[in-house]
Structure 1
Amino acid sequence: MSESEPYLPVEEGAIMLFARALGDENPVYRDREYARNSEFGAVIAPPTFVQSATHFNPDSGLRPRPGEPWRGSGRTPTGTPSSSEGGALRLHAEQHFTYHRVLRAGDELTWTTRPGRTWTKQRRNGDTMTFQDQITEYRDRSGELVITARSVVVELPSSGGSR
């Protein structure tokens, strides 16, 4: 992997903190001895762990930056304009993961993201919603595909009507 390429280090401490944040006390996420004797043979990461790659991606709009307003996860985050002002409202609608193998402590992942399919649906009020897939492939140091993530974003027109 190149130095300029963003990567996600899959470390035991980060796995434990991620699992605790989810409220998942499965010892395979935190107890090295237990995990070594499990079917996995090592500490593994919870299923959605790759979402933490946002913090390692310098281009992510969701990554907090000191001294700058943060979009975060609120509808209208403090210090930032509403995403519906003067345009469409974009929302994260779905998330799907395909696991090609278990993600283990010690892995280092790189990723590439590409657009997937786009489709529309008519709302009851006549407005059109636009949906788009975004496909992210996570690979390990050897280039093996580990996880494929598909997110769906929906765009609603800012029509001034009810949502």
Structure 2
Amino acid sequence: MGLLTDELRVRIGERRVYTAPEEFGAAAGRYFGLAIGDTNPLYSDLEYARAQGLAGVTAPPTLICETNQYANIAPDPEGYAGHTWGLELPGTRTVRGGNSYEFFRRIRPEDVITATWEIADMTEKRTGSGTEMLIVASRASYTNQHGELLATNEETIIFVALGGNS
């Protein structure tokens, strides 16, 4: 197999850290809830949120994992303004392998979020038909300005060789 080169192997353990330039804000949770069709009053009604034991309004849990919406990342050549590893594997197509989230505390409007991403592992495998794949596992932790862990995200990206068997 040959997708996992020495050049890629040395990137295992590489980290990227993104800290928001401002507080999260109440509007972010409200707008994200509307955008995804989640009208939970925890995202828009201060009195309701307080009646549920919260200090104030919050946001849908997965919003914190959308690093691009607060990390102030410049768009790449294709216009994507989010976290990527910039892994270039000519002759492959990229497939999202999925995400696994764990949430520890709800986001508060005054939170300043820091996302710390790390390439955890890279593994070469073959599909059932013999096509080469490179599986890249990364993980992110999301903390606030006090270092409190808010959430984690484990992500898998799969690079599949084009043209069948290699």
The TM-score bracket by the shorter chain reads: 0.7 to 0.9
Alpha-carbon distance change, 103 to 114 in structure 1, aligned in 2, over 3 angstroms = same
Partner Cα distance (2:119, 2:18) in 1? 19
Matched, 1:6 2:10: no
Change (3 A) 1:88 1:71: farther
CA contact (8 A) 1:10 1:45 kept: no
Tell me if 1:70 matches 2:79.
yes
Root mean square deviation of aligned Cα: 2.7
Deviation, structure 1 residue 40: 2.5
Q: Which stretches in structure 2 are left out of the alignment for 5+ residues?
A: 1-16, 82-87
| Pick aligned residue for 2:59 from 25, 36, 45 | 45
In structure 2, distance between residues paired with 1:15 and 1:59: 20
Task: Output the TM-score relative to the length of structure 1.
Answer: 0.74
Superposition map of 1:63-142 within 5 A: 63=75, 69-71=78-80, 86-142=90-146
The number of aligned residues is 142
Structure 1 residues 63-91: Cα deviation after superposition (integer angstroms, max 9, x where no partner): 4x7xx64258xxxxxxxxxx99x421122
1:16-27 → structure 2 map (5 Å cutoff): 16-27=30-41
**Secondary structure class of the residue paired with 1:43:** coil
SS in 1 for 2:135: strand
- Flag structure 1 segments of 5+ consecutive residues without an equivalent: 73-82
- 2:7 is aligned to none
Q: Offset at 1:42? A: 1.8
Q: Give the TM-score taking structure 2 as reference length.
A: 0.73
Contact 1:96-1:150 at 8 Å conserved across structures: yes
Q: What's 2:4 paired with?
A: none
The answer to which structure, 1 or 2, has the higher relative contact order (CA under 8 A, 6+ apart) is 2
Q: Secondary structure, in 3 states, of the residue corresponding to 1:15?
A: helix
- Which among 137, 153, 157 is matched to residue 149 of structure 1? 153
Measure the CA separation in 2 of the matches of 1:158 and 1:58: 34
Higher deviation after alignment, 7-16 or 150-159 = 7-16
| Separation in 1, partners of 2:94, 2:71 | 21
Residue type at the aligned position of 2:121: R
Amino acid at match of 1:115: I
CA contact (8 A) 2:117 2:138 kept: yes
CA contact (8 A) 2:64 2:107 kept: no
- Percent identity between the two aligned chains: 23
- Alpha-carbon distance, 1:92 to partner: 1.9
Q: Distance in 1 between matches of 2:23 and 2:160?
A: 36
Deviations 1:96-155 (CA, angstroms, capped at 9, x unpaired): 111122222221111211111233332122112221211111111111211111111111
